[in-house]
Structure 1
Amino acid sequence: MIDKIKKRDGRIINFVPQKITAAIFKAAQAAAKKEDREADYDIAEKLTEDVMALLNKKYIGEIPTVEQVQDAVIKILIEAGHAKTSENYILYRADRTRSRESKSRLMRTIEAITLKDATESNTKRENANIDGNTAMGTMLQYGSAVSKEFCKTHMLKPEHAFAHDNGDIHIHDLDFFNMGTLTCAQIDIINLFEGGFSTGHGFLREPQDIMSYAALAAIAIQSNQNDQHGGQSIPFFDFGLALGVKKTYKRLYKSNMAKAIAIYCSFEDEEPEKIADEIIQESQLVSKLPLTMENDPSYVDVEIDLLAKKLNISKEQAVKIHKFTKKYTFQETDRRTYQAMEAFIHNLNTMHSRAGAQVPFSSINFGTDTSIEGRTISRNLLLATESGLGNGETAIFPILIFKVKEGVNYNPEDPNYDLFKLSCRVSAKRLFPNFSFLDASFNAQYYIPGRPETEVTYMGCRTRVIGNVYDKEREIVTGRGNISFTSINLPRLAIKHGQAAKGEANIDGFFSELNEKIDLVIDQLMERMKVQQSKRVKNFPFLMGQGIWIDSDKLDWDSDLSEIIKHGTLTVGFIGLAETLKALIGKHHGESQKAQELGLKIVKFMRDKLDTTAEKYKLNFSLIATPAEGLSGRFTRIDRKVFGEIPGVTDKDYYTNSFHVPVYHTLSAYEKIQLEAPYHTFTNAGHITYIELDGKPSDNLEAFETIVRAMKDAGVGYGSINHPVDRDPVCGFNGVIDDICPGCGRTEEDGVKFERIRRITGYLVGTIDRFNDAKLAEVKQRVKHNFKRI
């Protein structure tokens, strides 16, 4: 009779059958609870006897291990017809294993963070916007590693933790799970700045100058990032800062009128300033028009008449004073606006958040304000971006997103057409702005002229939030964002059911298991939402305390967030559609129309499932084309270990980003746009289409603009154009650098590397030496689109 058992650490201890009975009974209780019945302890004892009989027969004269005993329990449960109890026992076993292994896994991770350089550790390069070699970057990774292990062993349901560790799903930002933070938010700076706001460390008055507006916009982004685990965006930057331009113009107008009066008339001391103020105030009162950069003719006529009357001068002299005032006020306002935009960009690339380990993840949407003030913001933001940072470097943040809209900026007769042309020029040099297309059918349905909060905006990473089943009356972008998202490993399902594994694809089996995985993720998102709902306003002093999130201004400091976060999105993502199709039918959607049809069927299936779920719960369940940075390599490593190297599927170091045609596949830019555009319709939580160009697009702006227009015509929602952005830090040359710098003729053998900036997801992340191994492999395999093959 077996009376000893071998533990995992090699120790030999007494064998206690009652522990088996207790484990079986606990698993039976879990199964019975789901079926609303009671578990039977006597049955658990009988099953234990069967287990003992099996062990005594199989391990004569041996001491079985813990794993062998557990295997015997599972075998007896299945043979005795207790499948549900067996499933719960397996989960219990996995949970105990995970809890036990988490300590050693954590220690291994901390060892890698502590002892290895970032060039040797993917862990330290998991997020390319964190410098893993710095003290604060290392400390942030320590916290992340500990938090992830705690969440997996104490916060997540066992089946969710198992699916994540096993590589069936990926819970994004798992290290923030227990904090209950949300992912991202669109900040309404018009509402925030009115009356001033607090950062938690002091109150800031309402800004009165464009320089202050720009500075506070950067501070708002920085402060908000400390309350969230994702990015921050300003959805209509031009509208939001236009008021700052107006205030600056008014102040300078008064000052310049006083100067003109002093020049053309004879006054002393403060008298010109006083007279200028009186004339401006009375002109607004009589004309019933405000003083703006537009300078309505009715206002101008009244001002000139008052100048002539109050100063006792001729109308001709009054006109000279007015022209002097307007000319220099325009010039100074424009100059100050440029300086403000330059400072804004510099701030977002130098100010730190999250314990000093990161610059804020920031996105700026703009381009549709047709007022002179709004246009002044957009133009100078683009020009400052074009100029670059202090030494001519390309700015990493903010991600600029130019909103393209017919009737506003797309056609030559549109009022902001010049800004569209300028945005193409700047993007061709600096990679930004990206382009969002308000006329795409899924964006246009929300658009209401004159209400910028209905203009669909994107986070730099691609996240999109607009529809609102929770509150149909407020389908707007401001004060909302993604709550959390989790991605499904599509290629794994395809490997299990596709021809790559069995010779003949079981498409029905694929969809059946996909349906199960979506249900699993929905349950996991709901569980995470419970944690988020339990948090209080005081846990997020800026995001909630300053009314950034919609309806948070109606709550008290100790109020929970149970209702208001329902305005956000709960999102399911996917990765590797190309590899999925290769595993299922042997070709991806860039190679076969049949594959394209199946790809659309898969993505539509996911969207339809989430739409149904959204209506069921009145929560904004949505589908995102996952921006895969660290994830692209994680899934592949796990699957290659399990299934081996499968050509076209697991034979690379990464899975293809979302629904994209593989980067290594050769086709024209136009063909790529046409293939990817239909997927934008279904991915309502976010999407992006990239075009990868060779050469220097600044030399062919016509071709660059052709690509942007092709995206719009195809129905793309959000797109960008990638191209090499290289810089020699020695001579300052910006452009395309191969092996030799065109500026000074030196090579990297001189000891100083060239800076090579590339885009990997929606966020641009500096030089390529900060990329993890999977993204480095992907970048190296990218096939460039030649300008002649657009």
Structure 2
Amino acid sequence: MGLKINEGVKVENVYNVENDIRKAKITVKKNNGVCEAFSYEKLLKSLVMVEAPYFESEKIVSTVVENLYDGITTKEIKKIVYECLEEVDSEAANKYLAKTTLKVRSSRDKIEPFDMAKIASTLVEETGASQETAFEIASEVWKELKKLNVEYLTAPMIREIVNTKLVEYGLEDLRSRYTRLGIPVYNITSLIENGNRDNANMMHNPESIHKYVADEALKQYALLHLLPSHLADAHMSGDIHIHDLEFFAGRPLNCLQHDIRAFIKYGLKVDGTGDHTSVAAPPSHMETLMNHTGEIMLAAQQNMSGGQAMSLWNVFVAPFARGRTYEEVKQSIQMLVYNLNMAYAARGSQVPFTSMQLEFGVPNFLKDVTAYGPKGQVVGTYADFEDETRMIQRAFTEILLEGDSEGKPHLFPNTIYTLREETLNGDYDDDMLLVHELSAKYGSSYFVNMLPDYRGQMANYMGCRTCLQDTWTGDWEQDCLRTGNLAYVTLNMPRIGYQSNDEDDVFEYLDNYMDLAVETLMIRRKQGLNCLNNFDILPFLDQEVDGETYYRIQNSTLSFGFCGLNEMLLALFDEGIENPDANKFGIKCLEYINARAKALQEETGLRWSVLQTPAESTAYRFATLDKEQFGDKAILQGDNGANYYTNSSHVPVNSDIAFADKIKIEGQYHKLTPGGHIFHAFMGESYSDPEALMSLTNKIARKSDIGFWAYSSAFSFCLNCKTLMKGLSNKCPSCGESADVEWYDRITGYVQQVGHAKSANGGWNAGKRQELIDRRRFEQ
């Protein structure tokens, strides 16, 4: 199987000219720093699109070819084209200037061609101006913009020029409606009235409105002030996606894996200093420790942009259960679970994004480790608390299985169960079966597989899938606790496929995109160090524990994420990830990215990694941008404008591939994504039998390289009569209601409300809602 050559506009002699240029290896440097081969065909097509005279277009392109040199910039090429075109057709020159040279960094985090009609339409929509007035103002603005010697405009800049023209025309009433308060008045009104669907974990309320307004200002601050223009361009054009731009400046650290022992030994200062809040001594009772656990995660969430997690939690808490009855232990844990699900106080009135990784028993590597109990006292080793460890895990699982007072699932914490060789020997079968009852009922439990060869003693997960493993230094505490994923940048893999003609092109683009990611991540790490050490705005993370800062930034991961590997392979080979030959090339690409991460580790001494991007919004954003840029060449999932790319290196959700084959394909990528991964087992209604799921777990753990997975089963809940139903039901079978039926399913990592059966709007963006509909469920 070979790479296919992309077909395009047929022009006499184009093939020969392209061949000569390719042999000469003439590359063009784009504004975002990415270099690509000069394309005679692409340049000619851009002139055809603005209706330039055909004969003159060929002469203009020939003039450009005469002036080519390796490394010429797109700005230089566009200047030649515009000047040549201006001499023969000023109207076409204006169109070329607007479409290709004057680019707008829009408020939608993308780069768009300038379009005078958009100014007119926003004036009509936002101010109620007449069509005639709107187009007159837009024409005046266009005349002003042509005079500016700038290549990039911003939406705020254009808006200010529009406002100036409105004042000049005596239209003050329209100007007051069109003005900008950090973000346009119209956008704030829309937020208040309609909310936002970028984050499925947020509800529409005053705090989320405040968050989105602040987010917009901080995103622009990051793009205009913290990042050089070529990185901002790369993000907005969709070559890469820089995650959490709204947190780049003040909360640049992503996920955090806590060590509860630090607070057992030394007590709790939720502000990190004790200067502004009450200070708690080391806890004496289990109930106090449960309260502290919730407060730790809530306090740290104020300093972090991503998820909070605790691993080995039930082992470390076990000494506090000594001498307590099962009911007392369960009651204490129930208090924690409800607190984590009811603390609407994080990042725009969300509950803290929390995960809890539990052990079925005390792992062998912990048996001889010193155990700390009430008042921070040494109470032996953790081997002494095997029974209590098991009791806490069982109580936690039972509480989740019971749901809340109405029978709905507790959506947090994401509860993760660690599978070890000793877990699967039969001694823990009763506890395992209970966990699989939870999977069958709500689909909310996750499993970590410690059996594959690429594992060490410890692997812990945070949020949707980000992961730490003890393969960095070999020290499980340093590698896995009090650190996390600092940040990741996602590469647009399908776009590489659309632009590449051979294998060398693919790896050149990968190099270019990874260069952009590395530069971005190093800037973000510098900002993280400043926030920790110089700006004093992350006091919880900066507090001292055992002579060092609580958050070990030196051990945090800087990660390459990626999206749409399947669509990249389709663009290159006409075959996706399910095809063995195409899949081999996908593996080769991931090995190449891992090699870069390894080289960076040796070069910088920092912890570089590769992960499967959760891509809750990125898969939709990349697909939308590529549809605009590449048209029919773009290979998209979904339809009716609700397009998306397949997540990371997953098999498409609507594939009719056998379950075992899906495991085999995706398992190959888990060892190549040490920074985080997940396998989604979208299960149908026949998999509601816990014993069947438990049998499947044994097979996945023992016979595959899958490192992390969840059984995701869609279900519905009737708010009217509190009936839980399997599948996405349009009507409650008990009371006949449809308007009050909620849908639930796993989004990219965690179970969340999709919306109501009547509207299915929920908090999911259009691409994610379409993906939900497309998901094929596995049956027995």
Q: TM-score, normalised by structure 2?
A: 0.72
| Cα distance change, pair 337–576 in 1 and its aligned pair in 2 (3 A) | same
* C-alpha contact (below 8 Å) 2:255/2:463 kept by paired residues: no
Question: 198, 202, 213: which one pairs with 1:130?
Answer: 202
* C-alpha contact (below 8 Å) 1:696/1:724 kept by paired residues: no
| Cα distance change, pair 168–467 in 1 and its aligned pair in 2 (3 A) | farther
- 1:745-784 correspondence to structure 2 within 5 Å: 745-748=735-738, 752-768=739-755, 769-784=762-777
CA distance in structure 2 between the aligned counterparts of 1:73 and 1:129, rounded to whole angstroms: 37
| Cα distance change, pair 421–153 in 1 and its aligned pair in 2 (3 A) | same
Question: 169, 174, 190: which one pairs with 1:116?
Answer: 190
**Which secondary structure does the structure 2 equivalent of 1:208 belong to?**
coil
- 1:15-30 correspondence to structure 2 within 5 Å: none
* C-alpha contact (below 8 Å) 2:717/2:742 kept by paired residues: yes
Aligned twin of 1:481: 484
**Amino acid in the other structure paired with 1:536:** L
1:238 and 2:225 aligned: no
Aligned twin of 1:566: 554
1:588 deviation in Å? 0.9
| Cα distance change, pair 466–105 in 1 and its aligned pair in 2 (3 A) | farther
* C-alpha contact (below 8 Å) 1:640/1:650 kept by paired residues: no
CA distance in structure 2 between the aligned counterparts of 1:60 and 1:490, rounded to whole angstroms: 39
1:187 deviation in Å? 0.7
Aligned twin of 2:528: 532
**Which secondary structure does the structure 2 equivalent of 1:672 belong to?**
helix
| Cα distance change, pair 112–618 in 1 and its aligned pair in 2 (3 A) | farther
| Cα distance change, pair 69–457 in 1 and its aligned pair in 2 (3 A) | closer
1:97 deviation in Å? 5.0
CA distance in structure 1 between the aligned counterparts of 2:771 and 2:565, rounded to whole angstroms: 15
- 1:354-433 correspondence to structure 2 within 5 Å: 354=346, 357-370=349-362, 371-407=386-422, 409-412=423-426, 414=427, 416-433=428-445
1:424 deviation in Å? 1.2
1:697 deviation in Å? 3.1
Unaligned runs of 5+ in 2: 1-28, 34-75, 104-148, 161-177, 272-276, 363-385, 756-761
1:665 and 2:636 aligned: no
Question: 656, 663, 673: which one pairs with 1:683?
Answer: 673
Deviations 1:530-565 (A, max 9, x none): 1111223532121222649x9305xxxxxxx9xx51
Would you tell me which structure has more helix in proportion to its own residues? 1
| Cα distance change, pair 746–515 in 1 and its aligned pair in 2 (3 A) | same
Percent identity, aligned pairs only?
24
1:183 deviation in Å? 0.3
* C-alpha contact (below 8 Å) 2:251/2:303 kept by paired residues: no
| Cα distance change, pair 336–585 in 1 and its aligned pair in 2 (3 A) | same
Aligned twin of 1:36: none
CA distance in structure 1 between the aligned counterparts of 2:680 and 2:89, rounded to whole angstroms: 64
CA distance in structure 2 between the aligned counterparts of 1:102 and 1:675, rounded to whole angstroms: 50
CA distance in structure 2 between the aligned counterparts of 1:462 and 1:152, rounded to whole angstroms: 27
* C-alpha contact (below 8 Å) 2:685/2:727 kept by paired residues: no
* C-alpha contact (below 8 Å) 2:318/2:388 kept by paired residues: yes
1:726 and 2:701 aligned: no
CA distance in structure 2 between the aligned counterparts of 1:105 and 1:720, rounded to whole angstroms: 48
1:702 and 2:691 aligned: yes
Question: 626, 634, 653: which one pairs with 2:613?
Answer: 626
Question: 594, 598, 622: which one pairs with 2:585?
Answer: 598
**Amino acid in the other structure paired with 2:765:** N
CA distance in structure 2 between the aligned counterparts of 1:52 and 1:662, rounded to whole angstroms: 42
Deviations 1:268-302 (A, max 9, x none): xxxxxxxxxxxxxxxxxxxxxxxxxxxxxxxxxxx
1:168 and 2:239 aligned: yes
Question: 196, 219, 223: which one pairs with 2:267?
Answer: 196
| Cα distance change, pair 704–213 in 1 and its aligned pair in 2 (3 A) | same
CA distance in structure 2 between the aligned counterparts of 1:706 and 1:647, rounded to whole angstroms: 41
1:490 and 2:487 aligned: no
| Cα distance change, pair 185–52 in 1 and its aligned pair in 2 (3 A) | closer
CA distance in structure 2 between the aligned counterparts of 1:648 and 1:52, rounded to whole angstroms: 31
CA distance in structure 2 between the aligned counterparts of 1:339 and 1:424, rounded to whole angstroms: 22
| Cα distance change, pair 740–582 in 1 and its aligned pair in 2 (3 A) | closer
Aligned twin of 2:286: 210
| Cα distance change, pair 566–771 in 1 and its aligned pair in 2 (3 A) | same
Matched positions, count: 604
CA distance in structure 1 between the aligned counterparts of 2:86 and 2:295, rounded to whole angstroms: 72
CA distance in structure 2 between the aligned counterparts of 1:673 and 1:355, rounded to whole angstroms: 36
**Which secondary structure does the structure 2 equivalent of 1:419 belong to?**
helix
1:68 deviation in Å? 4.9
Question: 535, 547, 552: which one pairs with 2:549?
Answer: 552
1:601 deviation in Å? 1.2
1:61 deviation in Å? 9.8
Aligned twin of 1:541: 539
**Which secondary structure does the structure 2 equivalent of 1:400 belong to?**
strand
* C-alpha contact (below 8 Å) 1:233/1:363 kept by paired residues: yes
Deviations 1:728-768 (A, max 9, x none): 112111132554666624131xxx32121111111222233
CA distance in structure 1 between the aligned counterparts of 2:359 and 2:85, rounded to whole angstroms: 77
CA distance in structure 2 between the aligned counterparts of 1:755 and 1:150, rounded to whole angstroms: 38
1:181 deviation in Å? 2.7
Would you tell me which structure has more strand in proportion to its own residues? 2
Deviations 1:429-463 (A, max 9, x none): 121211001122222x2x1xxxxxxx211113100
1:99 deviation in Å? 7.5
Q: TM-score, normalised by structure 1?
A: 0.71
Question: 151, 164, 169: which one pairs with 2:222?
Answer: 151
1:770 deviation in Å? 1.6
CA distance in structure 1 between the aligned counterparts of 2:524 and 2:724, rounded to whole angstroms: 45
1:648 deviation in Å? 4.3
Larger Rg: 1
CA distance in structure 2 between the aligned counterparts of 1:236 and 1:488, rounded to whole angstroms: 33
Deviations 1:58-82 (A, max 9, x none): 28999987985999999xxxxxxxx
- 1:453-472 correspondence to structure 2 within 5 Å: 455-467=458-470, 469=472
Deviations 1:166-199 (A, max 9, x none): 0000000011111153001111111222131111
**Which secondary structure does the structure 2 equivalent of 1:614 belong to?**
helix
Deviations 1:17-43 (A, max 9, x none): xxxxxxxxxx9xx99xxxxxxxxxxxx
CA distance in structure 2 between the aligned counterparts of 1:366 and 1:390, rounded to whole angstroms: 24
| Cα distance change, pair 195–531 in 1 and its aligned pair in 2 (3 A) | closer
| Cα distance change, pair 662–242 in 1 and its aligned pair in 2 (3 A) | same
